Structure 1
């Protein structure tokens, strides 16, 4: 009698225990892997007024043991990177340079939410994936998470070079915390990591602008007429350059420049590098250009012009066009 009553009771217990062990095994089997592409910014314009942007990608793939899986809650943390921090930004560094190239990582295309985390010293927000945002993982097809990168403008003191910052240290630079749970609320906490590098290249660059040189209104050319104007040059820090002036539309050399009117009448003039008007200003090939070193800031150069005494041509408007060339 006793044996016959116990047998029915043992079977449900054994079945329930088997289900419990099976579901726990499925929860333990569920795991995810992560890979990320390097982000290559290419040439970075540190002299311009606009930022340089690029987009990277984190690929997430989870194993297909999904029989009783109910949910995944995932948080991706990104720290400062191997380049460290400077001026409130992450930094890329370059061998042989003391300056860093600032950049930032964002979660959104508008670049308003900084991609950070709870590890390291950068701060910012970790990226949480749960609910509808992670349903593709539950099908085994995986998902891609974009990482938006920006190098802000206004970094004109950064010298040319190849810059990089690697994200590889766990948990300082990269860490993923995620939890998988089944329908019986059996949950497993896991961590993972991945690596990627942000790269950018700062190339030598220069910007130039020049004011007109206006000799004004003159009657007789029986004495020299002297005026001056400005040329402004901005070149990347550490870049050497030559500032040369052409011979105009009607000239044949550094001492043979002419302004001309519509009738073809001419007035000779000259351009100099010094206020005493003894150093002619020509091209690098003449050895008569100005040589300077870029600092990332605007540098001004004075052009000293002279119309020497000469026979006075017919009245009219005389002009010439001189090409300003910066060689770097």
Structure 2
């Protein structure tokens, strides 16, 4: 019988067939094309609305791609909230108050970063060459809070961007660049937040108080001047006046000193034209002046009086009073 020979032949034939099957099903390695994005928050920090200057801040958008079997990747980067408009965008604060700002593609803050869905404010398009199947890019996102928002009150303001407000599409290509219009895949969507804190802030300026020349002090001499106070809208403030630099004076009764001499002339400062409310620091029978900021300049009048007194040597008399603004 030839059975052993037949079995051997069968075994060899079966092994050969099995080997062919294994070779046929072995997979071919394929690189997966992927891009991942990250987006930082944009935090403006403290914002004063009375400085007359915008406040700037930046964020960062990064993209890292691998497995790209093409020469270039074109990124179509949309930042939206089109329901609220692109310019200006608005952060919301206390009681529904808003603070206007925008997001720009450039450090000069001239080109607003928009969306593929907008014809007026387009998305940002960036074309990056592929090196070894990899693309990495980091883009600065420029934010600016606009100046001149003098009626905005202090508080925390923010705007949250949801995944529906961003669309970051990436298109690998070789040759002619593709168009971003109508492109939605492959893509990614992210969330980020824009925030600012409007601070209670004030500034003040003062004009000199000049009494008219007098040949006699047998009767009182009066004059007035003004302090200009500008505070962020809704900010309460208080203005106090000190005793001046001439020795012997108090907040209720100050002295001017003769230039180049030691003689003094008594004078007083008041909040009212009737000279009934001495303006000082709240001590020694005096009071302070106060108000609430409107975001624009407010004028406070200082009424000065030199009461009747013994005539001193002729010459120029002066004193320096410090006004302290508390808010």
Same-fold status (TM-score > 0.5): yes
TM-score by length of 1: 0.82
- Stretches of structure 1 lacking an aligned partner (at least 5 in a row): 1-20
What corresponds to 1:126 in structure 2? 123
Is 1:165 the counterpart of 2:166 in the alignment?
no
Q: Return the match for 1:145 from 139, 147, 152.
A: 139
What corresponds to 2:23 in structure 1? none
What corresponds to 2:6 in structure 1? none
What corresponds to 1:302 in structure 2? 301
**Contact 2:75–2:170 (8 Å) recurs in 1:** yes
What corresponds to 2:318 in structure 1? 319
Q: Could you tell me how far apart the structure 1 residues matched to 2:221 and 2:119 are? A: 62
**Contact 1:81–1:166 (8 Å) recurs in 2:** no
Is 1:71 the counterpart of 2:63 in the alignment?
no
SS in 2 for 1:219: coil
Q: Could you tell me how far apart the structure 2 residues matched to 1:138 and 1:47 are? A: 52
SS in 2 for 1:220: coil
**What does residue range 262-277 of structure 1 map to in structure 2 within 5 Å?**
262-277=260-275
Q: Return the match for 2:171 from 144, 161, 179.
A: 179
Q: Could you tell me how far apart the structure 2 residues matched to 1:98 and 1:122 are? A: 29
SS in 2 for 1:97: helix
Q: Deviations over 1:107-158 (max 9, x none)?
A: 0111111111133x7952210012xxx1267652511011011112111111
Distance 1:35 1:316, change over 3 A: same
Structure number with greater Rg is 2
Q: Deviations over 1:211-251 (max 9, x none)?
A: 11000211111101111111110011111111111111125
CA shift at 1:85, angstroms?
4.9
**Contact 1:168–1:195 (8 Å) recurs in 2:** yes
**Contact 1:136–1:143 (8 Å) recurs in 2:** no
Q: Could you tell me how far apart the structure 1 residues matched to 2:145 and 2:196 are? A: 9
Distance 1:264 1:101, change over 3 A: same
What corresponds to 1:14 in structure 2? none
What corresponds to 2:39 in structure 1? 36
**What does residue range 1-328 of structure 1 map to in structure 2 within 5 Å?**
26=31, 29-63=32-66, 65-66=67-68, 68-80=69-81, 84-85=84-85, 88-94=87-93, 96-119=94-117, 123-130=120-127, 134-135=128-129, 139-140=133-134, 142-170=136-164, 173-181=165-173, 189-250=185-246, 251-261=248-258, 262-284=260-282, 288-328=287-327
Q: How many residues align?
A: 293
Q: Following TM superposition, where does structure 1 have runs of at least 4 consecutive aligned residues deviating by more than 3 angstroms?
A: 136-139, 284-287
Q: Deviations over 1:140-186 (max 9, x none)?
A: 2511011011112111111111111111241xx21112322468x9x
Q: Could you tell me how far apart the structure 1 residues matched to 2:34 and 2:273 are? A: 76
Q: Deviations over 1:257-279 (max 9, x none)?
A: 01001211100000011110111
**Contact 2:78–2:168 (8 Å) recurs in 1:** yes
**Contact 1:81–1:168 (8 Å) recurs in 2:** no
